A and B are shown apart, each in its own frame.
Chain A
């Protein structure tokens, strides 16, 4: 009975893994094909079934003058914009979330829960609603088509996610822990960074992961707020397309753009399994 269960369990896991890995294998093999190999029917194994070509990868690093579409610069632009805006969003969002979780705000009928909802509501609006105001605001500030402008816009988009996740997380950290820290001689700032923050690492990691993912995959704002000076990766990948779809270079670009998220996922997985708060309150 137990062996049957184990067999079934591993079969299911294997099936699911194949389902997840298949598109990657497909993209990897396609990225090493040329026009003929793609159009000449189904083939999987290089050298045996088709002659591998590195054209798909080479195009990505060649400057436009040599007929390539260089995605190296957009790649580093994307990393810069995503990391900086995520970092600032997490710092500001965590501070805002702690305040919303621990202190009582009242302005007329507006209470803490309303302020929290105000943050989340930024994400409820369809992005297109924000496009014109963002465009005009960056225009007035002369920040259109700059990394700085993109970072600012992404902070607006990512901070609500951080606030939302962290408010929920801080609400689950018992208030008595803060109080005990105060009694034990911490001032409110020390209580926050010596006691509350170290116990909020899983929450910070989840919030950071969401910020990085949402920042990394955004196409819409990267597209409308940049023209020629600055380009982000999603826009550059779209620019790869031409009248004859270059499946090989698109596959290669897709692979390199997914890579950072896979790295993030591995790091996050390691930290999340170390749940750290279970002994705080019984």
Chain B
């Protein structure tokens, strides 16, 4: 069974929520919608669920015209970024709610709820009130309710983003187990995320979306290795891929007067002219024989240090895999790994990737 969207467009005011979105989803696969905040991820999921109208476009599930079916008859499940449960019901009643709504028999409900509870690891919490649970447990309840429904389409809207680090790791394992289990052979799983690392870990198909428009689709590895354009390169990397405008001119790459590099042989086929060069934060190194940059800010995140710096107009972020302190306006020298350089043309489209060549 296939879920197909055709030319979905929604522009309630001046901005596009969805802009000509045409996608295909197959049962048994995991799709990650990757985009920044307000890029249209939630809009798209809500449109699939039927909670948001569209100006034009079609949605079909198998042979059915999905747009003509009201939300409450669509049999989709959705887990929100906020922990949404029914506060007046306890854990068991929360999970049983959609099943009761379907007029399932009491015995069947009991069995389905028990299965869902064990899938998310909430045994023993059946009689608890929602208010007595931690954020992670509340999100597990929401997930269990979605699983118990055995919906054909499971929509997950940044379900981990409001959890702290440890809980996120735990719950991500729960997701992974679920995605590998039977569930995934019958259902279409759509997972929205802003976090490229999460998208890569889930390792399904990625849909990169920005300003309501689909920029690129493909397996996670392919999108990561060969981002179709600058926007995708920025969205699929955290920190965003450094994009440096420069000129190729007779054996040299010129970023500015003080920052010139010899044109490596594998790029020698490129014509002279303006390009954009992309390099990941991990592919920049502190190097005493490198070029001068001035430190703007250094962030320590776990065991890594992100160093934001500039040279004239050029701004780059460099990642060091250790904790080091820098001060504002420190002078550092950096070099870049030329074999890891991406080249985009003047329009921002990829013309050379270190993984694929041109």
Interface of A toward B, CB cutoff 8 Å = 174, 176-177, 179-187, 190, 195, 198-199, 276-282
Contacts and interface: CB of A to CB of B under 8 A. Distances in A.
B138 A279 contact: yes
B49 interface: yes
B71 interface: yes
Interface string B132-154: 11010010000001000100000
A279 B82 contact: no
Given A179-B51, A279-B131, A279-B138, A187 B72 contact: yes
A181 B162 CA distance: 21
B51 A182 contact: yes
B28 interface: no
A282 B102 CA distance: 28
A184 B88 contact: no
A183 B138 contact: no
Contacts of A282: 82-83, 135, 138, 162
Contacts of A174: 82, 84
B234 to A, nearest CB: 29
Nearest to A277: B87
A198 B200 CA distance: 42
B85 A279 contact: yes
B86 interface: yes
> For chain B, which range describes its interface: under 10, 10 to 19, 20 to 34, or 35 or more residues?
35 or more
Contact of A199 (B83, B88, B97, B132): B88
A276 B138 CA distance: 15
B74 to A, nearest CB: 8
B131 A185 contact: no
B129 interface: yes
B72 A276 contact: no
Contacts of B75: 185
Given A279-B130, A279-B133, A282-B135, A185 B102 contact: yes
B142 to A, nearest CB: 8
Nearest to A280: B87
Nearest to B74: A183
Interface string B60-85: 00000000001111111110101111
Given A180-B78, A183-B71, A184-B97, A281 B84 contact: yes
A184 B50 CA distance: 12
Given A180-B80, A183-B71, A279-B130, A199 B135 contact: no
